[in-house]
């Protein structure tokens, strides 16, 4: 299991979106499905027995999708950056993914890439495609704009200190004569627990910012781990509910026990687990296990 799993928030079309994505990307498959029980349906306003979460893989990387309603919407502040080895792959992915979407930067040659595009798909999720002959993977990309522009380097430093198995791969700064403020991050990549992330500062005015529509699940094996990541990531940010928090930069995380997905697969026991979970901010493994074991 990946230590960090991107979670995508949909209205009521997570299953449709996952079927679409897994039909496009290689080495992809649909994993487990959890449905809304009585307690979770009442708390969320979602239909009982409808799909709550689904896990899936794209290019061998794990993701989760959540049907949560219209509360949160995707924005380009967090996108999925796809490195493609050939121009043909860039073109094919663009043709399929961009259909009925919105083009932010058209597929073309740019100073930084021979083949690149930035767009929203039909579900509102933002993608970046780039020709990268030496790479072949999908990377969450964080774009710091408006009041957050200039915070990318501080965020990268923060994350690489919180996660013990972490490193900065490279960092490029804007120089004099370039569109961004001198010294802010033009492009950077970093590793957290073996998973690559990208970050950049976006100059100019933008009509979007970070939202909970994309959050990052930290899968923990012990209560000590949950306590550590909860305390570190929420410091200077905001504790929310049910294991959710916002870090000091406004990015959402879910700090959860890795066994939670298994607990939610049993429809007879999931309701008790959900009732217990709804009472918590930081999750307590022992309390969740006790709820799961109830007859």
| Beta bridge partners of residue 67, listed in sequence order | 10
> What are the residue ranges of helices labelled H in 98-214?
152-162
Start and end residues for every CATH 3.10.180.10 domain found in the chain: 4-70+211-293
For the stretch 133-158, pLDDT in tens is 877 789 999 999 999 999 999 999 99
For the stretch 12-29, pLDDT in tens is 899 999 999 999 998 999
pLDDT of residue 223: 97
Q: How far is CA 22 from CA 16, 29, 62, in A?
A: 10, 6, 12
The region, left, alpha or beta by phi > 0 then psi within -120 to 50, assigned to residue 155 is alpha
Q: Kindly report the CATH class assigned to 4-70+211-293.
A: alpha beta
Start and end residues for every CATH 3.30.720.110 domain found in the chain: 78-202
Tokens 């992809």 locate to 28
> Is a pLDDT exceeding 70 seen at residue 295?
no
For the stretch 42-64, pLDDT in tens is 877 888 888 889 999 999 999 99
- Cβ neighbourhood burial of 124 (10 Å; 0-12, 13-18, 19+): middle
**Percent of the chain's residues with pLDDT above 70:** 100
Architecture category of domain 78-202 in CATH: 2-Layer Sandwich (3.30)
Work out the pLDDT band at 70, boundaries 50, 70, 90: confident
Contact in structure between 145 and 80 (CB atoms under 8 Å): no
């Amino acid at each position: 299991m990946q230590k960090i799993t991107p979670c995508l928030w949909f209205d009521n079309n997570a299953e449709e979106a996952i079927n679409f994505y897994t039909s496009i990307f290689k080495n992809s498959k649909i994993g487990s499905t959890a449905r809304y029980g009585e307690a979770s349906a009442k708390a969320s306003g979602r239909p009982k027995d409808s799909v709550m979460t689904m896990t899936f893989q794209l290019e061998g990387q794990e993701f989760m999708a959540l049907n949560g309603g219209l509360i949160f919407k995707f924005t380009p502040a967090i996108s999925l950056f796809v490195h493609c080895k050939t121009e043909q792959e860039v073109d094919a992915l663009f043709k399929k993914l961009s259909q009925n979407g919105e083009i932010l930067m058209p597929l073309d040659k740019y100073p930084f890439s021979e083949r690149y595009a930035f767009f929203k798909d039909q579900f509102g999720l933002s993608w970046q495609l780039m020709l990268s002959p030496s790479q072949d993977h999908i990377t969450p990309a964080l774009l710091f704009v408006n009041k957050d522009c200039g915070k990318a380097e501080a965020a990268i430093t923060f994350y690489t200190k919180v996660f013990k198995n972490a490193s900065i791969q490279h960092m490029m700064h804007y120089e004099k004569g370039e569109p961004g403020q001198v010294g802010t991050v033009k492009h950077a990549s970093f590793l957290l627990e073996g998973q690559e992330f990208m970050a950049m500062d976006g100059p100019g005015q933008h009509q979007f910012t970070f939202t909970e529509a994309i959050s990052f699940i930290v899968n923990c094996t012990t209560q000590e781990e949950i306590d550590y990541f909860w305390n570190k990531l929420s410091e200077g940010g905001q504790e929310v509910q049910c294991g959710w928090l916002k870090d000091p930069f406004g990015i959402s995380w879910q700090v959860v026990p890795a066994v939670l997905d298994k607990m939610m697969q049993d429809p007879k026991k999931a309701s008790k687990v959900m009732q217990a979970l709804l009472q918590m901010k930081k999750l307590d493994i022992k309390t969740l296990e006790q709820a799961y074991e109830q007859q």
